[in-house]
Structure 1
Amino acid sequence: MTLPDTQPTPGMFSGSEIAELCDAIKDVHRLLTSVGGFFHELNGAENPSGNGLQIDFKMWGLRTIAEDLLTRQYAKINRMVAVYKEEQDKMKRVAG
């Protein structure tokens, strides 16, 4: 059962905004999957007799890049959520 005030309103978003939001969410998922796989490989590659400095540096770089990319993707998602909430508020004022 869907609540009346949560039903999508026709014309609230253009098709490109919906596609952009979906792409941003998919990008976050792909990024996390890729980073997780690579991080797992790096953990397995460390030589127990070595100092691990090179591996640590690669992990730091990977984490830094991933955090930057995730920040950008989350910003896109947050902007789409803000647009959605603004549109919802407008529709409620018009209906009320």
Structure 2
Amino acid sequence: MTSPMFSGAEIPELCDAIKDIHRLLTSVGVFFSELDGAEDPGGNGLQIDFKKWGIRTIAEDLLARQYEKIDRIVGIYQEEQEKMKEKGRRNR
């Protein structure tokens, strides 16, 4: 059942944002684990550390974008809830 508080495009957008976050975290976790296991015990690890920093930076940026989408949709939902409450108070 779809909520009348959201337009047709917002619900799939929210679901896609959540799925994107899951895929991103899964992919980054797997890649990060592979890098961690690839580090040469005798080396200084700078190349691996730089790659880890890059992954973390990219992941944080992508997650921030997805969270912005989710926050925007939550804001819309909260505004609609307030409108419904006000409408309910007026109809009493």
What is the one-letter code of the residue matched to 1:46?
Answer: E
Query: Closer, same or farther in 2 for the Cα pair 1:27/1:9, shift >3 Å?
Result: closer
Post-superposition CA distance 1:15-52 (Å, at most 9, x none) = 21000000001100110000000000000000001111
| Aligned counterpart, 2:7 | 14
- In the alignment, structure 2 segments of 5+ residues that lack a partner are none
**What is the CA RMSD across the aligned residues, in angstroms?**
1.4
Question: Which of these residues, 53, 56, 60, is aligned with residue 49 of structure 2?
Answer: 56
Q: What is the TM-score with the length of structure 2 in the denominator?
A: 0.92
Matched-pair identity in %: 72
Deviation at 1:95, TM superposition (A): 1.1
Q: Which amino acid aligns with 2:64?
A: T
Give 1:11 shift: 2.3
User: What is the match of residue 5 of structure 1?
Assistant: none
- The equivalent position to 1:44 in structure 2, one of 37, 41, 45, is 37
Q: Deviations over 1:68-89 (max 9, x none)?
A: 0001100110110000000000
Deviating 4+ runs (over 3 angstroms): none
Task: Tell me how far 1:9 sits from its aligned partner.
Answer: 8.1
Once the 2 structures are TM-superposed, how far is the Cα of residue 54 of structure 1 from its aligned partner? 0.5
Does the alignment pair 1:89 with 2:76? no
Gaps of 5+ in 1: 1-7
CA distance in 2, matches of 1:54, 1:10: 49
- Aligned residue pairs: how many? 89
